[in-house]
Structure 1
Amino acid sequence: MGASAGMGGAPGGRGEGEGPHDAPPSPPAGGTDEERAATPPPRRPRTVLLGVSVAAALLIGIGAPTVDAILFYRSGQPSDIEHVVAAGKELTFEHVSWKAGVAPMQAPETSTPDKAWLKVTIVRKGVDETGIKLTGIPELEMRDGEDRSWKVEITNHDVATDDAEVNKPYTIEAATVVPKAVADKVELRLRPNTTYRSDTPVDELLIVPTDPAEVEKGKRKDVLVFRR
């Protein structure tokens, strides 16, 4: 009797037979039944979305591997067409000759011991009148044998746009930061810009090409891989 009175006496107490998780949530205070029914449920936490955003931000930093970004980029995209260049050699591709070298560089005082700073030197030559007009700056990255990649930042170049000469070398200097453990193993991957021409009128730069040859060229994913 005393136990029964204790369970039923306090307002909001659990009735007989109800477990610790069976009690329904208290309805919102005030309002009609219709208003309470229309009250939206609490929003689910955005932990997953925030986690993706943080991961993406971390991958943007220089020296951070961009494997996830590459996987997203390749979704629905054609695979790279690789053109391998032997160490110390040059390769002519689409009217332009390319040669590249990678060497250690002095790290700033703020760097950490597990990082290696590398200087990338690229020499390009237009081998004909078309080649000296293809002055678009290439995309660069370093990649190791496990398909991890690191961004390469261009720091300086002397590529002429108006008065370039056939077979004259022009230099592109760049730098990258990679883990010290792979500093001797990473290889430069250079994706040339084969569509931009320096003699294109400004009012035609944003025109979508319709020539079948130019359209096909824009679809290709050619990349030069420089062995070390």
Structure 2
Amino acid sequence: MPGPPRVFSDEQVWPPAPKPVSEPAGTSTQPFPAVPGTPPPGPLSASPAGPVAPASPLAVAEAAAAAAAGAAAGTGTGTGIRTGAPGAPEAGAPEQAAAASGPARSPRRRTALRVSGAILAVVLAMGIPTWDGYLFYRTGNPAYQVHTVAAGGAGTLMNVSWKVRVEQADSLPGARPIKAEQEWLKITVTRTSLNAEGVLRRGEPTIKVKHPDGRTWQAQIVNTGLPVEVKDHKIGTGYDYDVISLVPKKIAGEVEVEVLPSTIRVPLEEESVEDLFKRVGTEKTEPQDQVLLFRR
């Protein structure tokens, strides 16, 4: 049979009783157990491991005394007991918040840096070969600088004056039969050397037929009126290129003529192959990017 219930005398637990004057702070050698914090008021809640046994009055008193001793010394006990006025934040709360928020933002920053680096690498991997290919393409296909010439006017490039005349014809002598919706163009391109340098620039030009919407048609030089001998080439005298082209009849009156003069400099006198190679190696290569566009 159980014995009679034990009766405990009244003992002050909280707030802790003042310490005797004869025992200053830090003189006790008795270790105190770590207390996680001030328990909330109300009945004790059951933990997953089972009901929690209430702490003995002696342990609670010893923990309270240790907290009071730490507060009096100004160093804190490190037991996690809240100090200060009720509702005041715990010591070290800003540091704990910064430590908690720092790792959460760091992975996001690292992910953004990785994504940015990957995008930059892709752009460089695609852009550098593309730009290199564009430069290589432009070496053989320069961006033309177009000089527009009014209808019936003349244009000058590299000391040579150029003029164009266009005639429409349903048939040409000796030409093959064409469809009803097609029409021949008889184009006469006249070149006039303005000085000795213009005589040197007597290389055969490139001629095209072009519509304002961007469509182009082939033009063929069928006869060259330039003298065979260089000495017979006169400054200020016009020499003709006879050109033909086949275009749709409905736009035959709208097409324009492009003349791309040659940048080759042909010597005035006949020279040997050795001299030719020596001259070619010393002359500066000029880009053939100047175009004359003759309006209709």
1:104 aligns to 2:168 (yes or no): yes
Give the deviation of 1:109 after TM superposition: 6.2
- Bigger fraction of residues in helix: 2
Match of 1:195 among 250, 255, 264: 264
Q: Note closer, same or farther for the CA distance 1:185–1:133 as it changes in structure 2 (3 Å cut).
A: same
Structure 1 residues 121-170: Cα deviation after superposition (integer angstroms, max 9, x where no partner):
01111000111222111001101122111111111121124121110111
Query: Taking every aligned residue pair, what percent have the same amino acid on both sides?
Result: 28
1:177 aligns to 2:241 (yes or no): no
Q: TM-score, normalised by structure 1?
A: 0.61
Contact in 2 for aligned 1:134/1:198 (Cα 8 Å)? no
Decide which structure has the larger Cα Rg and report it. Answer: 2
Given residue 293 of structure 2, which amino acid in structure 1 is its aligned partner? V
Structure 1 residues 22-57: Cα deviation after superposition (integer angstroms, max 9, x where no partner):
xxxxxxxxxxxxxxxxxxxxxxxxxxxxxxxxxxxx
Residues 37-76 of structure 1 mapped to structure 2, 5 A cutoff: 75-76=137-138
Match of 1:120 in 2: 187
Secondary structure at the counterpart of residue 178 of structure 2: coil
Contact in 2 for aligned 1:135/1:198 (Cα 8 Å)? no
Residues 78-227 of structure 1 mapped to structure 2, 5 A cutoff: 78-107=142-171, 108=175, 110-160=177-227, 161-162=229-230, 163-199=232-268, 201-203=271-273, 204-205=275-276, 208-211=280-283, 214-215=284-285, 217=286, 219-227=287-295
Structure 1 residues 197-227: Cα deviation after superposition (integer angstroms, max 9, x where no partner):
143735155565444xx32x2x241111001
Contact in 1 for aligned 2:159/2:197 (Cα 8 Å)? yes
CA RMSD of aligned residues (A): 2.2
- Bigger fraction of residues in strand: 1
Contact in 1 for aligned 2:262/2:288 (Cα 8 Å)? no
Given residue 201 of structure 1, which amino acid in structure 2 is its aligned partner? E
Q: Note closer, same or farther for the CA distance 1:222–1:209 as it changes in structure 2 (3 Å cut).
A: farther
Whose RCO is larger (CA < 8 A, sep 6+)? 1
Given residue 291 of structure 2, which amino acid in structure 1 is its aligned partner? V
Q: TM-score, normalised by structure 2?
A: 0.47
Q: Note closer, same or farther for the CA distance 1:168–1:154 as it changes in structure 2 (3 Å cut).
A: same
Given residue 182 of structure 1, which amino acid in structure 2 is its aligned partner? I
Structure 2: 5+ residue runs without aligned partners?
A: 1-135
Q: Note closer, same or farther for the CA distance 1:149–1:209 as it changes in structure 2 (3 Å cut).
A: farther
Match of 1:8 in 2: none
Given residue 179 of structure 2, which amino acid in structure 1 is its aligned partner? T
Q: Note closer, same or farther for the CA distance 1:109–1:159 as it changes in structure 2 (3 Å cut).
A: closer
Q: Distance in 2 between matches of 1:102 and 1:202?
A: 40
Give the deviation of 1:95 after TM superposition: 0.8
Match of 2:76 in 1: none
Q: Distance in 2 between matches of 1:148 and 1:209?
A: 38
Q: Note closer, same or farther for the CA distance 1:142–1:202 as it changes in structure 2 (3 Å cut).
A: farther
Given residue 119 of structure 1, which amino acid in structure 2 is its aligned partner? K
Give the deviation of 1:114 after TM superposition: 1.2
